[in-house]
Amino acid sequence: MTTDPYLNTHIGLETETVVIFVALAIIAMGIDMWAHRSDKPIALKQAVAWTLFWISIGLGFAGFLYFHFNGEVASLYLAGYLFEQALSVDNLFVMMAIFAWFKVPEKYCHRVLYWGVLGAVVFRMVFVVIGSTLFAMGPVVEIIFALMVAASGFMMLKKHDDAEENKDFSSHLAYKTVRLFIPVFPRIVGHNFFLRKEEVEKELEKPENKTIVLKRSGPWFATPLFLCLAVIETTDVMFAFDSVPAVIAVSREPLIVYSAMIFAVLGLRSMYFVLDAMRQYLVHLEKAVTVLLFFIAFKLGASASLHLFGFGLDISVYTSLAVIAVILSLGIIASFIFPKKR
């Protein structure tokens, strides 16, 4: 007789937990929005402080899960939280390349990231519901997801460091789609995503814009800031195809998965500016993330083999958390011990 390894971690959509999660997320987002209501560049010290703020919110929810349920539930949440944070590092590096290509001033990056994060909150919910439903269909789906996660790992192995930095985003699907349906004004105007026709006419009267010739007209014009947001949102959706199956592999509980992902994602805006400053130092962190993807693929495959063929293993909650924490720590430590040669 075998016991269900997820019996002690099944929480469903328990009302009190949902209310605490939603209230904590909304209050924290409100504080963040109020503090960053003006367009100002975020200094490294300020970004570090806000990153610690969001980490404390995420850990605070883990504490609630520990006392409200048990240590296994809290550990599953922490494993998912750490894993999403780790996977998000690669996504943030891509966003840096997107901002650089669109020449977005640093003071507007937080605004674009804010709307990007709101989109991520919605898309993560959709993907978590679909992914959790598929996982419930049995071990065959686990094998499929294991192959998907392993494929993501191989893609990261093949990726060159300068692949995104040298990418031309004018060929991006989102870029082309926006330009297909909406006229575009080719210069950034404040923090506006859109401009009315009257505003565009005023901009064209400025001396520095005399050379601009608009090929299309309409009541509204998109700005490069909106094109940048569209590319970021689409990139995040593609990223979610990798991250959601990987995080669900750590925990099958939709509420644990979603809350872990959201508290990790909400802190990305502040973490972006920290990673931007430390990118040259965290040179081996991406390798650690790649190793984690292969670990998750192995975890899924071993679990599916156990249920299908009778041999394999179910890696425990605490083991998963320990492996994730150790691999990430080794990646960070290795970055400082073996820095990239200049």
Instruction: Kindly state the tokens that stand for 248.
Output: 């669900």
Which pLDDT belongs to residue 155? Answer: 79
Q: Which amino acid type is present at position 332?
A: I
Tell me which DSSP letter residue 184 carries: B
Burial degree of 321 (CB within 10 A; 0-12, 13-18, 19+) = buried
The mean pLDDT value for 234-256 works out to 79
Which pLDDT belongs to residue 195? Answer: 92
Would you say the C-alpha torsion 190, 196, 198, 200 has a positive or negative sign?
positive
Burial degree of 261 (CB within 10 A; 0-12, 13-18, 19+) = buried
Pick the range with the lowest mean pLDDT from 51-55, 109-113, 165-169, 303-307: 165-169
SS3 312: coil
Which range is most confident: 162-171, 215-224, 277-286?
215-224
Which tens digit of pLDDT belongs to each residue from 259-276? Answer: 988 898 888 878 888 877
The pLDDT confidence band at residue 228, using thresholds 50, 70 and 90, is very high
Which pLDDT belongs to residue 141? Answer: 80
How far apart are the C-alpha atoms of 315 and 300, rounded to whole Å?
9
Q: What is the pTM of this model?
A: 0.81
How far apart are the C-alpha atoms of 342 and 333, rounded to whole Å?
19
Which of 114, 56, 28, 48 has the alpha carbon at shortest distance from 273?
Answer: 48
Which tens digit of pLDDT belongs to each residue from 60-81? Answer: 999 999 998 888 889 889 988 8
Which tens digit of pLDDT belongs to each residue from 12-60? Answer: 778 899 999 999 989 988 888 887 777 777 788 888 888 899 999 999 9
